[in-house]
Structure 1
């Protein structure tokens, strides 16, 4: 607790005064450009690795960066998505997994969380990714299996995300972009899912090659009918 209090004191004396104007603007309104749904893992700080300022991103964190399908489960994640998309009008939603994810390790070995009923029940939303890996991948090393499962879980949660009415409505109009990322804790890299290619690509290579941004967004169907209003 002492470390938290000392950290607050540094914020109060150093960081807050430097950004006083920003916090004054944020005191009455937030207008984040993106929502990031990521893992609760303490090593994963999306504001840090995206160099974001307060007010830039609306972050929802949970075990395993899970997005339950809308019809199956309505809770805090669903409410956060609805608020970010329908009220705040974010332009982007990112589902961000990460390397060495404990939730994915538990998904690989469900018996390891038998004594954690809440965790076990929550991770059922990742079982689809495990089935994809079990039936389509051939791995000898568990590390390779974990990497594949982490990526497939991001893809699975993107599929779940599209079942949410607020997301589906804006995707149909073409004014919401979806992204799937995997953050590498050790080297600071990000791999992004490219729906057109059907696999993950390095964001660093995309930047270096001047390529177009990889997205996980399906084609807009109703943009010409309903316009582009949020």
Structure 2
């Protein structure tokens, strides 16, 4: 922790906050994309996209899950999405899943989360879109360990499912239909840096370099 604190305290020595770039940030933000991804510490949106401050708006939680829009009261995800689209006028939304995902791994393995009731309840939001891959027959058919083919399929299917949930939000649906918003699905490998992109055919591309 001390190393992190030291780097934070030395930020002003490493960055010229008097530059035009940083002075402009004080006037407001105009990010190009909303990046929805997992809270996993190995997944860093700005690192993946080589983004500068002010270029991407981030929404992070366990499993990059987008809760359904209706009947759930206040939601940080819904508020972030609403602000990004209606206030910041973001025109691209990316949902990015990743390899070695603990959240999707827990669902895949049927992990007992009784000691983590909040986590368990949250991950249940993703289950409906993953049901075909979470059955015992599906697991037996794919084999492999926690990082085998099935986990990759679960993570990628979750990205597809969360994109479908996003389309249930009126603000998203309206803007997509009007050609003012584009939705993207990505799959990131934390150990290689490779990136797969969801195509119009509903399949992920081979990993892009």
TM normalised by structure 2 equals 0.91
Equivalent in the alignment of 2:41: 42
C-alpha contact 2:38 2:64 (8 A) present in aligned 1:
yes
- 1:118 matches 2:121: no
Question: What is the number of equivalent residue pairs in this alignment?
Answer: 203
Name the SS for the 1:7 alignment partner. Answer: helix
From 153, 160, 175, the counterpart of 1:155: 160
Q: Which one has the bigger helix percentage?
A: 1
Q: CA deviation at 1:4?
A: 2.3
Equivalent in the alignment of 1:183: 188
C-alpha contact 2:107 2:134 (8 A) present in aligned 1:
no
Equivalent in the alignment of 2:107: 107
* Within-5 A mapping of 1:145-224: 145-194=150-199, 196-202=200-206, 204=208
Equivalent in the alignment of 1:141: 144
* Within-5 A mapping of 1:9-20: 9-14=9-14, 16-17=15-16, 20=19
Name the SS for the 1:141 alignment partner. Answer: coil
Superposed CA RMSD in Å reads 1.8
Moved more, 71-80 or 52-61: 71-80
* Within-5 A mapping of 1:26-105: 26-73=25-72, 74-105=74-105
| Aligned CA distance change for structure 1 residues 154 and 109 (closer, same or farther; 3 Å) | same
C-alpha contact 1:129 1:149 (8 A) present in aligned 2:
no
Where does structure 2 lack aligned partners over 5 or more consecutive residues? none
Q: CA deviation at 1:18?
A: 6.7
2-structure distance, mates of 1:99, 1:80: 25
| Aligned CA distance change for structure 1 residues 110 and 170 (closer, same or farther; 3 Å) | same
Q: CA deviation at 1:164?
A: 1.1
C-alpha contact 1:33 1:92 (8 A) present in aligned 2:
yes
C-alpha contact 1:35 1:84 (8 A) present in aligned 2:
yes
Q: CA deviation at 1:72?
A: 4.3
C-alpha contact 2:17 2:23 (8 A) present in aligned 1:
no
Equivalent in the alignment of 2:131: 131
1-structure distance, mates of 2:125, 2:21: 38
Name the SS for the 2:119 alignment partner. Answer: helix
C-alpha contact 2:97 2:188 (8 A) present in aligned 1:
yes
| Aligned CA distance change for structure 1 residues 62 and 91 (closer, same or farther; 3 Å) | same
Name the SS for the 2:10 alignment partner. Answer: helix
